[in-house]
Amino acid sequence: MTIHIGAQPGQIAETVLLPGDPYRAKWAAETFLDNPQLVNEVRGMFGFTGTWKGHPVTVQGSGMGMPSLSIYVNELIRDYGAKTLIRIGSCGAMQEKVKIRDVILAMTASALSTPSRGIFKELNFAPSADWSLLRAAAQAAETKQVKTHVGGIYSADVFYDERPDLNEQMTRHGILGVEMEAAELYNLALRYGVRALAVLTVSDHLITHEALPPEDRERSFGDMVEIALEAAFS
């Protein structure tokens, strides 16, 4: 057990999917895993471990924002031996070519600041995904015929953003979408020598102002989970 994860030794798989919402973790585990067992509910941040095609998998909620994700990822890697960590979550599109329900595979993740900034000091470190996971996810998406975009994303510090000038520059420089966690996930994975990827479903659009209706979100997120699982074990 750790401060934030109540699982016993051996209850966390080496492959971990990381949705921000603990109830999305519950949905994903119950929908895609065989025999999912609740292994964590500290602070209501559910974690479940089961199997997918015979492979052990944990689905652990990570909360909203990079500081929260950093807590769970540090403990998953250092205390439970996680080796492959894939964020599955929603994002807002920042390019007209990216549509609602499309999937984004984050090759890189830009950020104004991350919890790791104190380590890097004046260096603008460029965190990136694991190439083997990125390639496998792209192949899985192509096989499933899911509309997918591969490129850079922006991990924001705030949800209620008041920097339209910054968003304009992100769009101008080809950033595909915005979310709140992937940059620190990539920092930590590179620091500890493990694999990481963010597989994101577009739920909102910053240009067209479209939004996925709440009742459609779980159904639309299924492709994202399947792509993540296929990539993890390719």
| Structure confidence by residue, pLDDT tens digits, 98-128 | 999 999 999 999 999 999 999 998 999 999 9
| Structure confidence by residue, pLDDT tens digits, 133-165 | 999 999 999 999 999 999 999 999 999 988 889
Provide the annotated binding site for phosphate. 20, 24, 43, 87-90
Provide the annotated binding site for a purine D-ribonucleoside. 4, 179-181, 203-204
Could you tell me if 198 and 182 are in contact, meaning their C-beta atoms sit under 8 angstroms apart? Answer: yes
Percent of the chain clearing pLDDT 90 (strictly above): 93
CATH code for the domain defined by 15-232: 3.40.50.1580
| Structure confidence by residue, pLDDT tens digits, 21-63 | 999 999 999 999 999 999 999 999 999 999 999 999 999 999 9
Q: Which one of the listed residues 21, 102, 161, 204 is annotated catalytic?
A: 204
Provide the annotated binding site. 4, 20, 24, 43, 87-90, 179-181, 203-204
Give this prediction's pTM.
0.96
Confidence of residue 219 (pLDDT cuts 50, 70, 90): low
**Catalytic residue list contains 157:** no
